[in-house]
Chain A
Amino acid sequence: MRLEQWILSGVSLLYLGAAVLYLKNFLTPEKKAAKRAFALFTGGFVLACVFVFDQAYQTGVYLPVTSFYQVLIFFAWAMALIYILLAARLDLASFGVVFLPLLFVIHAAALVFYRPAPATQSWDSVWFFIHILMISFAVANFAFSWMAGLLYLFQHYALKAKTLNLYQRLPDLETLENTVYRTMVLGFSLLSLGLAAGMAWNQEIHSVLWKWNSKSIMSLLIWGIYLTALLLRYAFLFHGRKVVMLATGAFTLVIGIMFFI
Chain B
Amino acid sequence: MNTRETVHIFVLGISHKFAGVAAREKLAFTQAQAQEALRRIIREGLADEAVILSTCNRVEIYGMTRNSEGTRTRLTRFLARYHHLAEEEMENEFFFRENEEAITHLYRVACGLDSMVIGENEILGQLKESFRQAVAAGAVRSIFHQLFNRAFRTAKLVRQQTKIGEGFVSVSSVAVELAQKILGDFHNKKLLILGTGKMSELTLKKIIKAGAGVIWVTSRRYFKAQELADKYAVQAIAYEDWKSHFTEADMLLCSTSAPHPVVLKSDVEAVMQSRKHKPLFIIDIAVPRDTEADVSRIEDVYLYNIDDLKGLCEANMNLRRRELRLCEEILQKQAAEFAAWLKQLHTAPVINKLNLALDRILEEELKSRSAAGFKDKEELRRILERVKAKFLREPMVKLREAMEEGSGTHYLEVLYTLFDLEKVTTDEYQEEDSHRQPGEQAGLGSEPDYRGKSEDKISAL
Which among A159, A236, A240, A243 is the interface contact of B178 at CB below 8 angstroms? A159
> B276 at interface (Cβ–Cβ under 8 A)?
yes
Q: Which residue of B lies closest to A167 (CB)?
A: B181
Q: Would A239 and B277 be within 8 Å (CB), given that A160-B302, A173-B181 are in contact?
A: yes
> How far is B181's CA from A238's CA once the two chains are assembled, in angstroms?
20
Q: Which of B167, B180, B276, B304 has the most CB of A within 10 A?
A: B276
Whether A168 contacts B167 by the Cβ 8 Å rule is: yes
Q: Which residues of A contact B167 (CB under 8 A)?
A: 164, 168
User: Residue B132 at the A interface, CB < 8 A?
Assistant: no
| Number of B interface residues in the complex (CB < 8 A) | 24
Instruction: Indicate the size class of the contact surface on chain A.
Output: 20 to 34
Distance, CA A170 to CA B177, complexed state (A): 12
Q: How far is the CA of A243 from the CA of B276 in the complex (A)?
A: 10
- Tell me whether A162 and B277 are in contact (CB under 8 A): no
Residue of B nearest to A237 (CB): B276
Does B424 interact with chain A (Cβ within 8 Å)? no
Q: Which residues of B contact A155 (CB under 8 A)?
A: 181
Known: A239-B300, A242-B299. A164 touches B316 (CB 8 A): yes
Task: Identify the closest chain A residue to B308 (Cβ).
Answer: A162
A162 close to B181 (CB less than 8 A): no
Contact A239 B312, beta carbon cutoff 8 Å: no
Partner of B299, one of A173, A237, A240: A240
The CA-CA distance from A160 to B295 in the complex, in Å, is 12
> Of A159, A241, A243, which contacts B181 at CB under 8 A?
A159
Contact B277 A172 (CB under 8 A): no
**Contact between A159 and B184, CB atoms less than 8 A apart:** no
Q: For the complex, would chain A's binding face be called helix, strand, loop or mixed by DSSP majority?
A: helix
A240 touches B278 (CB 8 A): yes
Tell me if B342 counts as interface (CB < 8 A to partner A). no
Task: Tell me which residues from 153 to 201 in chain B have a Cβ below 8 Å from any Cβ of chain A.
Answer: 167, 177-178, 180-185
Contact B304 A241 (CB under 8 A): no
A167 to chain B: which residues have CB within 8 Å?
Answer: 178, 181
Nearest-Cβ distance from residue B279 to partner chain A, whole angstroms: 5
Q: How far is the CA of A240 from the CA of B182 in the complex (A)?
A: 11
- Nearest A residue (CB) for B181: A172
Q: Is the CB of A173 within 8 A of B277?
A: no
Residues A159-212 near B (CB distance < 8 A): 159-160, 162, 164, 167-168, 170, 172-175
The 15 listed contacts between A and B (C-beta, < 8 Å) are A159-B178, A159-B302, A160-B296, A160-B302, A162-B304, A164-B312, A164-B315, A168-B177, A173-B279, A237-B276, A239-B276, A239-B279, A240-B278, A240-B299, A242-B299
B-contacting residues of A (Cβ < 8 Å)? Answer: 155, 159-160, 162, 164, 167-168, 170, 172-175, 236-243
Which 7 A-B pairs give the minimum distances between C-beta atoms?
Answer: A174-B184, A240-B277, A240-B300, A172-B184, A239-B278, A164-B315, A238-B276
